[in-house]
Structure 1
Amino acid sequence: MILLLGVALVFAALFLVFSSIGGLTEERGGVARSLEMLEAMNNAPKELSESEADRPFGERVLEPLYLRAQRLGRRLSGADSSERVRHKLDLAGNPPGWNVDRVAAGKVVGSFVGFAFAALAAVVFGIDFPIWILVVLAGTAVGFMAPNMYLYQRAYERTEKMQRELPDAIDLLTISVESGLAFDSALQQVARKTEGPIGEEFARVLQEMQIGRSRAESMRSLADRTNMPDLRAFVSAMVQADSFGIPIGQVLRVQSHEIRTKRRQWAEEKAQKVPVKITVPLIFCILPCLFIAVLGPAAITIMRDLM
């Protein structure tokens, strides 16, 4: 403890020395800038000063802090973080109000919030100083990773929902094409009748096609925005059918059968995992209660007889 305190005091002394040296070198420039600022404030119109003072608290204080947090988050995340964050946002369905800058700022704000909560919890519970440092570092790391964890959870839930909805959407697309509709019209019909992320993705494909992108490019973008193997296989089959001139109705019928078979296998896999998952609550929650209910009276009787 004394060693850590000494190291902290040494760093504080060095910081004060360097700060004083920097202040001496920039003292004249700082005084000149202050005089210029005071002169400009005296010469400024009164209406401008009043309008500056009447600005909301968010514009005067919160917005500059938010911009600083964005810049700091970009520096901490790295140069290639924008593409990775944008891909995570696409996987999460682009939540309203979320963008790359907000994620970068959220990492910095989350770090400060995690640091504050971890330090407060360590002080309240009276944790020793070495463990206090570990708790604070862990809280800061959790706060920094909080936006990424939120996007991961949103992407996981969205993928699970798309996995359940994809066979029905492909069946509706197959029926629409076989009934005489063109592929674009059938896709529009599916986007209108289907609710959830599948309908949103098909609607986005139609929007990209309307602004001039080709069907193959729009479908490939759909595959890039998701991490579902079934949807990627469907997009690949549609692009190949469009390139080689294969009848789309036949390809859709095959894809619909395969995707529905895979969904049945996925459901069977989930059902096979239930006995393994229920083992832990069975051992730690159900069996102790059962033993107490069955063996409790016998144990009380034995204790009375022995006493």
Structure 2
Amino acid sequence: MTILLIMGAALVVLAIVLVSAAVGTTASGRAVSGVDRSVALLQAVTTAPKELTKDYDESFADRVMAPLQGKALLVARRLSGSDAAERIRKRLDVAGNPVGWTVERVQAGKVIGAIAMFLVSVALTAALGTHFPLRGLLIVLATIVGWFGPNLYLYQRVYERSLLMGRSLPDAIDLMTISVESGLAFDAAIQQVARNTTGPLADEFSRVLREMQIGQGRAQALRGLADRTNVDDVRSFVTAMVQADSFGIPIANVLRVQSSEMRVKRRQRAEEKAQKVPVKMTVPLIFCILPCLFIAVMGPAVIHIMDSFSGR
């Protein structure tokens, strides 16, 4: 009986060893075959033509951001009006067409900005533990800011660009006047301004020259300059130049008159801003300066009166 038990135990141990060896061999074979397949795949990808491996070489922007921008553009077109693209294109022209900004990117950026601000506001309000009415209001406001964020950026660019153009216009007209009076043609005078000055006005004059070089008329190119800006002085200058070109009026006389008018307008604007200074100083004077002055002047007297009434 003891011998039978020993033999049974030995058979069980032998069976366990055989099964373990079989399983280990199978796993080892699988591992080796898996490694071989991985090495073969790497070699195939390395030696494959560029047409087959270009999908693996694309950047994160091409693989992820481009499809995301396309989906956001579809959503933006559904939510915006039919003339939204034309209005954005007009605003981009007035803003000077910033690098990398297109109509499609602006529309997609509005949707992506709204979604991003929504998620950020939800996370922040949840972390701060705000109550539901205030939390909903903050989320809605943040989503609206994200939607109108690209528009606000473009409005700021338009304002800054218009301010620079208004400031540099009188000097540019003076340079044109000197150039025309010295014997240059009007186109050459514009070229002198575009070459010797910097800023958005010089860029616009360079664009006018390029448009005339590709075949547009002078009047049409100047009207395009007026359409790409919202500065009244530039528009009046373009109108005067177009009329002078149409009626044959000497350009030098028109430029001299325009230069004088621009400087008078600039001086008047400076005087207007100077007249607004006292009104603008009233609010900080009342709420910031006068309280501090009253505390410094009346504070010791109030303390002395309080000590007198308290019998100290």
Q: TM-score range by the shorter chain?
A: 0.7 to 0.9
1:288 is matched with: 291
Q: In the alignment, is residue 193 of structure 1 matched against residue 196 of structure 2?
A: yes
Q: Which residue of 2 aligns with 1:141?
A: 144
Aligned amino acid, residue 295 of structure 2: I
Structure 2: gaps of 5 or more residues: 1-43
Pairing of 1:78-97 with structure 2 (within 5 A): 78-97=81-100
Matched residue, 1:259: 262
The answer to whether structure 1 residue 182 and structure 2 residue 182 are counterparts is no
Q: How big is the shift at 1:51?
A: 5.8
Give the CA deviation at 1:173.
Answer: 0.8
Partner AA of 2:65 in structure 1: L
Q: Distance in 2 between matches of 1:90 and 1:274?
A: 34
Mean Cα deviation higher: 219-228 or 250-259? 250-259
1:171 Cα deviation after fit: 1.0
Shift of 1:151: 0.4
CA drift of 1:158 comes to 1.1
Matched residues in 2 for 1:84 and 1:117: separation? 29
- Runs of at least 5 residues in structure 1 that lack an aligned partner in the other structure: 1-44
Within a 5 Å distance, the mapping from 1:31-50 to structure 2 comes to none
- Compute the displacement of 1:217 (Å): 0.5
Query: Which of 96, 109, 112 does residue 106 from structure 1 map onto?
Result: 109
In the TM superposition, residue 157 of structure 1 has moved relative to its aligned partner by 1.2
Q: Secondary structure at the match of 1:180?
A: coil
Kindly provide the amino acid, as one letter, of the partner of residue 238 in structure 1: M
Number of residue pairs the alignment of both structures matches: 263
CA-CA distance at 1:306 after TM superposition: 2.6
Bigger CA drift: 152-161 or 48-57?
48-57
**Percent of residue pairs identical:** 60
**Aligned-pair CA distance for 1:50:** 6.6
Q: In structure 2, what is the Cα distance between the partners aligned to 1:177 and 1:167?
A: 15
1:134 CA drift (Å)? 2.2
CA distance 1:181–1:51, shift in 2 (3 Å): closer
Deviations 1:105-142 (A, max 9, x none): 11011101221232233223433223322221111111
Match of 2:22 in 1: none
Aligned match for 1:302, one of 270, 293, 305: 305
1:1-307 to 2 correspondences below 5 Å: 52-53=55-56, 55-307=58-310
Kindly state the Cα deviation for residue 180 of structure 1 after the two structures are TM-superposed: 0.7
Paired letter, 1:127: T
Deviation at 1:54, TM superposition (A): 5.2
Gap change, CA 1:281 and 1:124, over 3 Å in 2: farther
Task: For 2:243 and 2:56, locate their aligned partners in 1 and report how far apart those are by CA, in whole Å.
Answer: 63
Q: CA deviation at 1:239?
A: 0.5
Distance 2:52 2:249 in 1: 71
Separation of aligned partners in 2, 1:160 and 1:55: 42
**Matched position secondary structure for 1:269:** helix
Give the residue type in structure 2 aligned to 1:131: L
The amino acid across from 1:297 in the alignment is: P
DSSP-derived class of the 2:216 partner: coil
Normalised by the length of structure 2, the TM-score is 0.79
Please list the CA deviations of residues 31-52 of structure 1 after superposition, one character each: whole Å capped at 9, or x if unmatched: xxxxxxxxxxxxxx97588764
User: What one-letter code is carried by the residue in structure 2 that aligns with 1:173?
Assistant: M
Looking at structure 2, the residues matched to 178 and 132 of structure 1 have their Cα atoms a distance apart, in angstroms, of 67
1:55 and 1:251 mapped to 2: Cα distance? 57
> Alignment RMSD, CA only?
1.8
User: How far is the alpha carbon of 1:203 from its aligned partner?
Assistant: 0.9
